[in-house]
A and B are shown apart, each in its own frame.
Chain A
Amino acid sequence: NAGVTQTPKFRILKIGQSMTLQCTQDMNHNYMYWYRQDPGMGLKLIYYSVGAGITDKGEVPNGYNVSRSTTEDFPLRLELAAPSQTSVYFCASSFSNSNQPQHFGDGTRLSIL
């Protein structure tokens, strides 16, 4: 049971480039989330999904897009990379959005130069 798997683990992008961060979970969780973690700032919610075909914005969605075509996969797209998007990105999933804990992947460390 792999849990939540994120790829790649590390990536360096040039300003203006685009990329997709991949996230897949094998726990049959309905809810999935993307967070970014900046030093001393905790985690900020970028986007979330309550099921296949349904996504919604979180606290910091600007510059990002998501899709949810299957229960397992929830990719995050950066269209025009900017230095402010340098961060560590975490994907998480949970069975529901009430009292169930979220399960996190090990993150993607992204640098925009």
Chain B
Amino acid sequence: AQSVAQPEDQVNVAEGNPLTVKCTYSVSGNPYLFWYVQYPNRGLQFLLKYITGDNLVKGSYGFEAEFNKSQTSFHLKKPSALVSDSALYFCAVRGSSGSARQLTFGSGTQLTVLP
């Protein structure tokens, strides 16, 4: 069965500093990887995805993520954090066949950017 681990429930970072939100995954075959963000009382919003190609993926709002096949990781990064980046972030993985094609979400990481 496929799985996603977000090892940190909470990440705090000062405004202007770089941020990293960690994600590791387990899936059969080639992974399709996604990051979503959730603001209070809202649904999830798509940030970026990795399907194939360049290991560094750029997405919305200045976020990027690096796919590392050997470490089965897909960490979310941003060079300079904003207070408005404070939100709940979810990593998700999908496999390439059968029931693995359904998205599996991590438990989420609450990012707080301190002014």
Contact = CB atoms under 8 A, between A and B. Distances in A.
Interface stretch (B12-20, B71-79, B98-106): B98-106
* Main secondary structure on A side of the interface with B: loop
A105 B38 CA distance: 11
Interface size class of B (residues with CB under 8 A): 20 to 34
Query: In this complex, which of A42, A104, A106 has the most chain B Cβ atoms within 10 angstroms of its Cβ?
Result: A42
Contact of B43 (A44, A48, A58, A105): A105
B44 interface: yes
B103 A102 contact: yes
B45 A45 contact: no
A104 B9 CA distance: 22
Contacts of B25: none
7 contacts: A41-B107, A42-B107, A43-B105, A90-B43, A90-B44, A104-B45, A106-B42
